[in-house]
């Protein structure tokens, strides 16, 4: 009987702590930034994210595009009506372009990770 009483007390403390931890984890979760492509152009050309965030390109055009890092960090092929994404793992400034349409360019500033 005494063990059951102790388990109930532990549960009364543990459940609220678990809820607090889950809330804190979701607050620190990485974000997703979408960059639509339309009219043979990236519609957001200068963006900022944090290490761990995902950048997702959405191809709303009727032709293929790429999102290609100029320093060979990534090369994403994006078919019409499709998306492609990359998780930003390193702080810095990244210039990207479309290999098929070199006039399509953009910049991503990746800031250091948030403090936990």
Walk across the sheet containing 75-78 and list its strands: 46-50, 105-111, 92-97, 65-69, 75-78
Hey, what CATH topology would domain 32-111 get?
A: Immunoglobulin-like (2.60.40)
Host H or E run for residue 109? strand 105-111
Cα angle 71, 97, 104 (rounded to 5 degrees) comes to 160
Per-residue pLDDT tens digits for 30-47:
899 999 999 999 999 999
d(CA 11, CA 69): 50
Which residues lie closer than 8 Å to 62 by C-beta, 6 or more apart?
80
- In the chain, % of residues over pLDDT 70: 73
pLDDT band of 17, cuts 50, 70, 90: very low
């Amino acid at each position: 009987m005494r063990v059951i009483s102790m388990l109930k007390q532990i549960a009364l403390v543990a459940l609220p702590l678990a809820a607090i931890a889950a809330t804190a984890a979701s607050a620190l979760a990485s974000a997703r930034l979408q960059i639509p492509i339309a009219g043979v152009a990236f519609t957001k050309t200068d963006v900022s994210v944090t290490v761990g965030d995902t950048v997702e390109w959405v191809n709303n055009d009727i032709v293929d595009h790429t999102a290609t890092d100029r320093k060979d960090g990534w090369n994403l092929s994006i078919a019409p009506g499709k998306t492609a994404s990359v998780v930003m793992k390193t702080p810095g400034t990244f210039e990207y372009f479309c290999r098929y349409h070199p006039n399509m360019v953009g910049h991503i500033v990746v800031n250091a990770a948030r403090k936990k």
